[in-house]
Amino acid sequence: METSPLKVLFVCKGNHARSIMAESIMRRLPGDKFTVFSAGSQPRPEVNPFVVRLLKSLNHDLTGLAPKSWDEFAKAGAPDLDFVFTLSETAANAVAPDWPGNPTTALWTLPDPAAFEGDDVQKALAFADAYRMLNNRISIFASLPLATLQGMALQHRLDAIGKDMGRTAPLQRDNAA
């Protein structure tokens, strides 16, 4: 029996840094288990240049990566979502649309690399650290036995991934992404 790919949406405020990196990381997973998207509550006009530089240096395909409003995923004709991961406190505190498909949701906040203040080398390191945390979380999520986890057991696992796994630094104030 063939199953459809699970549809995953990553959301942030600006959809120009963390959620774009998460979308790009998950798009690289082997096979066709997931169809992945990203969006923002208040999308920026373009992808953060540090994200573009980092993803290119790691040989990610940037085709189609662009900030978009999360409203695109709530309108008629939008895909039925299976999972929505919120990566910023700002987006978590905003009134989210009613997502089609009744997706399982989880809060996976992490420090906003776009809000980091320092020289370009320090900023690049902040983006690399956010990438590492996202890659860890997405790898753990993708390895879950999703066909056998349901309800509270699934929610517990997703919440645990967001709370502890892949985070090494305390959360910083979320201003930009």
Whether the full predicted model's pTM is greater than 0.75, yes or no, is yes
What digits encode the pLDDT tens for the residues 43-101?
A: 999 999 999 999 999 999 999 999 999 999 999 999 999 999 999 988 888 888 999 99
Encoded tokens for 161: 């991934």
In a domain, 172, yes or no: no
Residue 128's domain is classified under what CATH number? 3.40.50.2300
| Number of domains comprising the chain | 1
Q: H or E element: which one contains 103?
A: none
Structural tokens at position 149: 């986890």
- Tell me the pLDDT band of 33, cut-offs 50, 70 and 90: very high
Phi, psi of 58 (to 5 degrees): -100, 15
In a domain, 43, yes or no: yes
C-alpha–C-alpha distance, residues 152 and 53, integer Å: 39
- Domain assignment of residue 13, yes or no: yes
Spatial separation of the C-alpha atoms in residues 29 and 174, rounded to whole Å: 28
Q: Is residue 147 part of a domain?
A: yes
* Full residue range of the structural domain in which residue 124 is found: 6-163
113: in domain: yes
